[in-house]
Amino acid sequence: MLVDRVEEIIEELERVYNAIKNRGFAHDAEIAYGLGLVITIASAVELGKDVSEDAADKALYIASLAIERAPPRNIPIILRLLRPLRDKAPARYIQLLAQAIKVLPGQNKGLL
Protein backbone atom coordinates (compact mmCIF):
# COMPACT_ATOMS: atom_id res chain seq x y z
CA MET A 1 0.00 0.00 0.00
CA LEU A 2 1.32 3.44 -0.90
CA VAL A 3 0.54 4.95 2.49
CA ASP A 4 2.94 2.46 4.06
CA ARG A 5 5.71 4.22 2.12
CA VAL A 6 4.83 7.67 3.44
CA GLU A 7 8.48 8.62 4.15
CA GLU A 8 9.40 8.02 0.50
CA ILE A 9 6.35 9.93 -0.67
CA ILE A 10 7.25 12.88 1.57
CA GLU A 11 10.80 12.85 0.16
CA GLU A 12 9.38 12.98 -3.37
CA LEU A 13 7.01 15.78 -2.37
CA GLU A 14 9.96 17.74 -1.00
CA ARG A 15 11.81 17.32 -4.33
CA VAL A 16 8.78 18.69 -6.18
CA TYR A 17 8.37 21.51 -3.63
CA ASN A 18 12.05 22.50 -3.88
CA ALA A 19 11.99 22.46 -7.68
CA ILE A 20 8.97 24.76 -7.71
CA LYS A 21 10.44 27.11 -5.11
CA ASN A 22 13.86 27.27 -6.80
CA ARG A 23 12.36 27.93 -10.22
CA GLY A 24 9.75 30.38 -8.96
CA PHE A 25 6.82 28.76 -10.77
CA ALA A 26 5.20 25.38 -11.24
CA HIS A 27 4.37 23.43 -14.36
CA ASP A 28 0.88 21.95 -14.61
CA ALA A 29 2.33 18.42 -14.60
CA GLU A 30 4.22 19.13 -11.36
CA ILE A 31 1.06 20.39 -9.73
CA ALA A 32 -0.96 17.36 -10.80
CA TYR A 33 1.79 14.98 -9.68
CA GLY A 34 2.29 16.91 -6.45
CA LEU A 35 -1.43 16.84 -5.70
CA GLY A 36 -1.38 13.06 -6.01
CA LEU A 37 1.47 12.92 -3.52
CA VAL A 38 -0.37 15.32 -1.19
CA ILE A 39 -3.56 13.25 -1.26
CA THR A 40 -1.55 10.11 -0.49
CA ILE A 41 0.08 11.87 2.47
CA ALA A 42 -3.31 13.05 3.73
CA SER A 43 -4.61 9.49 3.46
CA ALA A 44 -1.62 8.27 5.47
CA VAL A 45 -2.39 10.79 8.21
CA GLU A 46 -6.00 9.66 8.22
CA LEU A 47 -4.78 6.08 8.75
CA GLY A 48 -2.64 7.16 11.71
CA LYS A 49 0.78 7.52 10.06
CA ASP A 50 3.05 10.19 11.50
CA VAL A 51 3.68 13.19 9.24
CA SER A 52 5.64 16.24 10.39
CA GLU A 53 4.17 19.72 10.47
CA ASP A 54 6.81 20.80 7.93
CA ALA A 55 5.82 18.07 5.49
CA ALA A 56 2.13 18.92 5.93
CA ASP A 57 2.88 22.61 5.33
CA LYS A 58 4.74 21.85 2.10
CA ALA A 59 1.98 19.49 1.03
CA LEU A 60 -0.68 22.14 1.55
CA TYR A 61 1.44 24.70 -0.29
CA ILE A 62 1.45 22.44 -3.35
CA ALA A 63 -2.27 21.83 -2.87
CA SER A 64 -2.82 25.60 -2.92
CA LEU A 65 -1.26 25.70 -6.38
CA ALA A 66 -3.69 23.01 -7.46
CA ILE A 67 -6.63 24.96 -6.02
CA GLU A 68 -5.60 27.99 -8.12
CA ARG A 69 -5.82 25.95 -11.33
CA ALA A 70 -8.49 23.37 -10.55
CA PRO A 71 -11.94 23.49 -12.10
CA PRO A 72 -14.27 24.96 -9.46
CA ARG A 73 -16.33 21.75 -9.28
CA ASN A 74 -13.21 19.84 -8.11
CA ILE A 75 -12.23 22.18 -5.29
CA PRO A 76 -14.64 20.82 -2.64
CA ILE A 77 -13.44 17.28 -3.42
CA ILE A 78 -9.78 18.32 -3.07
CA LEU A 79 -10.50 20.07 0.23
CA ARG A 80 -12.31 17.04 1.59
CA LEU A 81 -9.35 14.82 0.74
CA LEU A 82 -6.91 17.23 2.40
CA ARG A 83 -8.87 17.61 5.64
CA PRO A 84 -6.62 15.18 7.58
CA LEU A 85 -3.74 17.67 7.17
CA ARG A 86 -5.56 20.59 8.79
CA ASP A 87 -4.34 19.84 12.32
CA LYS A 88 -0.76 19.27 11.16
CA ALA A 89 -0.45 22.69 9.48
CA PRO A 90 -3.47 24.75 10.58
CA ALA A 91 -2.23 28.14 9.35
CA ARG A 92 -1.52 26.80 5.85
CA TYR A 93 -4.86 24.97 5.85
CA ILE A 94 -6.70 28.20 6.67
CA GLN A 95 -4.83 29.94 3.83
CA LEU A 96 -5.93 27.11 1.53
CA LEU A 97 -9.57 27.57 2.60
CA ALA A 98 -9.35 31.32 2.08
CA GLN A 99 -7.99 30.75 -1.39
CA ALA A 100 -10.77 28.27 -2.17
CA ILE A 101 -13.39 30.74 -0.98
CA LYS A 102 -11.99 33.36 -3.39
CA VAL A 103 -12.25 30.88 -6.25
CA LEU A 104 -15.74 29.74 -5.22
CA PRO A 105 -17.58 32.89 -4.12
CA GLY A 106 -21.09 32.06 -3.01
CA GLN A 107 -20.38 28.33 -3.13
CA ASN A 108 -18.33 28.00 0.04
CA LYS A 109 -20.99 26.33 2.15
CA GLY A 110 -19.57 23.21 3.75
CA LEU A 111 -15.90 23.79 2.86
CA LEU A 112 -14.82 23.80 6.50
Identify the domain containing residue 55 by its residue range. 2-103
pLDDT digits (tens, 9 = 90+) for 4-21: 799 999 999 999 999 999
Tally of structural domains, the chain = 1
Evaluate whether residue 95 is within a structural domain.
Answer: yes
Q: What are phi and psi of 50, to 5 degrees?
A: -85, 130
Please report whether residue 23 resides in a domain.
yes
Q: Let me know if residue 97 belongs to a domain.
A: yes
| 111: in domain | no
pTM: 0.88
CA distance 98 to 112: 10
pLDDT class for 36, splitting at 50, 70, 90?
very high
Residue 38's contacts (CB-CB under 8 Å, 6 or more residues apart) are 13, 59, 60, 62, 63, 66, 82, 85
Mean pLDDT, range 81-104, rounded to an integer: 91
Separation between Cα atoms, residue 93 and residue 102, nearest integer Å: 14
In-domain check, residue 109: no
Question: Mind listing the pLDDT tens digit for each residue in 77-92?
Answer: 999 999 999 999 999 9
